Each structure stands twice: as structure tokens, then as C-alpha cells.
Homo-oligomer: A and B are copies of this chain.
């Protein structure tokens, strides 16, 4: 028997057109650090259609790539809407990439047109002379007219779109067509390109609206905190538009004071944010109270969210934090930590502190080194693997045999973790960040959360250092509260009883700050380089008997 369903390709055009048609009066709120602008969807959609016509007139053809080098600005959102809908590919460039990587990804994706926020122009301009295939640079904000060493044309964004009529009907696309490309931050080697299809973007957006996912709705006001150049800002520019939510775009003004002001003025109902942002807001709140009670939910992820942080946010503002875990390769929504429905009170927090359960459509498993599934008993640790309709099966222009898939089609995440009886995933570490001590795995993430929860500790990172007896041992790097400054010996004593003795670090270093990657995660690669070999004896402030209790 054949299905009688019509062949209707899933596409970002369905997203664009639904927001435009049904939610003309929903609002996009911009912020320049001082004042806000309010633009209704109807006008944003019209501007996006003008942009599509303009790009077409510049010669950007179906399947070709436009790169954006922007913060969370309205022009960036207009590119999100216009570029895939017209059949081109949106390449969101990470504005924190070092110049060699920036040059590499623009060339590798073959960007023909670039859109840049004016304040970011200088960094981008530096690499343009090496990129002869870039034909047009569109500047959102004051434009210099021309750029040394750049042979293409420079355009002013507003003048460009003002000069074109809104594009009418968009071309017919296949759902497997590329819609957007985002490069992984690449903690090792060069960045790698993940190419989202129209189908995957639509499915991810629809799933984001599910009541047990982000539950994004027409009544929401989304504060767009995650950078729109990183995994599509959790997909919220697409899912928010599909649902007709108001979206508040803070530009590059993500400092706690700016966010607090925006939140007070705009009363957002939803945001996603890395734990660092929540910690910043809590610290600001401790200095002078701020009000986050307008949020119905805060989604947090990007690195592990501790129960302490979840409890502090709840205590400060009565807001529930839902933890999420995902990757650029998963669009990124993959697992979310809604507690089981009968969990209550303190019990609830323990569930929220897990990485989460797979959202509808997503499949997870843990395996051994031979890709054989392991028991999901909450105790066995293994390599986490994924499958689903918005999961990447490879990278742009990488040989198929370099694809990170198992023989049976699961994505190797490079993370290790456990899965419990209820299906909750607990990521315990990046495989390469694990400390292999005397045949046991020690999770750097679990130690970091445990140490960061101690009084007087602001942040902690744990990396492996060589050890003559145990092969590797953990080194704890801690940022201390300058008023109390607890001693490492005291911190270590507090860990006894919370961790098995063999897990507790005997190497400690007190540092001023921890280095971060371009997406705001602790840069363990840099830490490992710094503490490699000879440097160790200098920087370690406190050393206990190596391998004690192992």
C-alpha cells in the first residue's frame, strides 16, 4: 500500500512565511547598549525580502554562500530569514575566531558575500586581502567605503536594501538543500563545517516548540543571549519566528549590567544562556538586586550546570533552570533535563542538574570502545553516541571515511557519560578531558562542579597532568574569592566524603582567571599547554602525596 500524503518539502520558507503571515505585529527589539528599537515582524519580513532581492542583484545564486560576521542584531536576523529562504546558504562566522581560522572558514565554505556589523569590521577586514573570491562586503552600520587590500565592493546595508523591492515568491527548494553552515569551534585542529538542511532546520524548530522542550510560543518574549554565530543561537531565531515570539536582540551587550537593564525594561519570558552568564547575573544581583522574575524558564547549557547554580537562580528569582546539552552537530537541541513529573522539591533539582533526556526525534546510547551498547543503569560510563533527523553525519568537504559515524550510523560525540533507567543522560566529560588514573576514569567535569560549589571558590578547571605512578592525576585550577581566599588544603579536605579518595586532586593551582575558547568554554587545550611538563613545578602552589588513596 502506498501512502497518499502529498509531497511537501520541509523548509525554512515555511518558517519565514508563517511568522510573516500570522504574526505581523510581533516585535523584534534591538539594543545598541543605550536605547532599544522596536520593529514589527511585518517590517522585518519586508526588509528581509528586500535583502533577498538585493543579494540576488549582487549575483548571489541559489546554493551560494553568504557569511555573517555579526552579533545578535536585527540585520543578522534578517539574513537568517532571507538567505535560506532564497535558496542560498547562511554561514554564521564566529566573531571570536583567531584570524587564521577566520580566513580558513571563509575560504573553505566559499563565502561570496559577507555581512558584517560595523563595530566588527576591523577584525574581518584584516583577512579580506587573502580571500579573493569574496565579491561583496555589506556593512551594517557606518561604512568606510573601501577597505585596504579588498578587491570586492563595499555596501551600506541600509542603502542596499532600500534600493530593492521585496522579493515576491521564493524559489521551490528540496528539503535536503543546504540552509545554513556553522563551523565547530575546533578545540583540536581546524574548524569543521556542519551543514544544516532545510529539513533539519524546520524539524528542529518544530521540536523546539514542544511543550516539554523550549515550549516556544506566540506569548513568549525571547531574550537572545547565545550568540547567533554559534549553533544558530540554539535555533531560536528560527523557532521564535515560527512561533511568532517577540525577540529581544542584545547585540554585543551581554555584560550583566546591560542584560539586567534589558530584562527590567523588556520583561522577557525565556532565554538560553551558558552557566557563566547566570553566574555573572547572580553576582550582579548580590551587589545590587536585579529582577529576573519575568522568565518562565531559563535554559542553560554549553557546559555543565550545577545543582548549586540551579538552586541559586531559583532562590534569587523563583525561576526554574532547565539544563540542555547539545552540539553544533545536533542543531543543537538534543537532551533537556525536565524532571520526571512526580519529582518534587529538592528531588527536582537533582534531575535538573543532569544533562537531560532526549527530545522527541532524538536517540542516544552509550557504547564501549568497540561501539557495543552498554547498560543504561545510571552507573556504567561509556562513549555517548547520537542519531536523529537534525544530527550531522559528517562535515563539509571531508572525505566520507573521515565521517564521525559508526558502522550502524550513530554519531560519535567525543563525550563520555552515563544513561539511567529513566533515560536521563549525564555527560561526565569530553573523552579527551578524562583523567586516566591507575586504570580508572576520573571525570574532570564532576570535579569542577564539586570544587566550584565550595565556599570561596568562584570557578574551577581540572586537567590531567602526568604522574609517574598513576599515569595521570588531576590538577585543579581554581579562581578564588579575594575576600576569603581559602587554602587548597582546606578545599581538598572538604572534597573528602563527596568523592572517592582516588578522585581527589593532590595538584592544585590558584589562578586569576581561566582561559576561554571562542564560544566561552574553558579552554583546556590552552591550560594543558601551559601546564605541560616543566611549568608544573612553578605554578602548583600546593601538593599532596601523589596518588594518595588511589
Interface residues of A (CB under 8 A from B): 1-8, 10, 14, 17-18, 21-22, 24, 63, 65, 89, 109-110, 176-179, 181, 193-197, 199-200, 202-203, 205-207, 209-213, 215-219, 242-243, 338, 341, 357-358, 360-361, 363, 387-396, 405, 409, 411, 421-423
Task: List the B residue with the shortest CB-CB distance to A422.
Answer: B22
Contacts A6-B411, A209-B209, A211-B211 given; 20 further ones with Cβ under 8 A?
A1-B109, A2-B195, A3-B177, A3-B179, A3-B197, A4-B193, A4-B195, A4-B393, A4-B396, A5-B391, A14-B361, A21-B423, A22-B357, A209-B211, A209-B360, A210-B210, A210-B243, A212-B218, A218-B338, A242-B360
Min Cβ gap A528→B in Å is: 29
Task: List the B residue with the shortest CB-CB distance to A411.
Answer: B6
Q: Give the complex CA separation of A383 and B212 in angstroms.
A: 37
With a CB–CB cut-off of 8 A, which chain B residues contact A176? 3, 5
Q: Give the complex CA separation of A390 and B361 in angstroms.
A: 17
With a CB–CB cut-off of 8 A, which chain B residues contact A10? 361, 389
With a CB–CB cut-off of 8 A, which chain B residues contact A409? 6
Q: Give the complex CA separation of A338 and B209 in angstroms.
A: 15
With a CB–CB cut-off of 8 A, which chain B residues contact A178? 1-3
Q: Tell me which of B7, B205, B207 contacts A393 (CB under 8 A).
A: B7
Q: Give the complex CA separation of A109 and B2 in angstroms.
A: 11
A393-B5 CB under 8 A given contacts A358-B18, A360-B206, A360-B242? yes
Min Cβ gap A187→B in Å is: 19
Contact B211 A6 (CB under 8 A): no
Q: Give the complex CA separation of A306 and B526 in angstroms.
A: 66
Contact A217 B212 (CB under 8 A): yes
Q: Find the residue from A5, A24, A212 having the highest chain B CB count within 10 A.
A: A5
Contact A212 B243 (CB under 8 A): yes
Min Cβ gap A50→B in Å is: 22
Q: Find the residue from A3, A206, A243, A388 having the highest chain B CB count within 10 A.
A: A3
Contact B212 A396 (CB under 8 A): no
10 cross-chain pairs, A with B, having the tightest CB-CB distances, nearest first: A6-B393, A3-B197, A211-B217, A209-B210, A22-B423, A211-B215, A4-B195, A8-B389, A1-B178, A5-B200
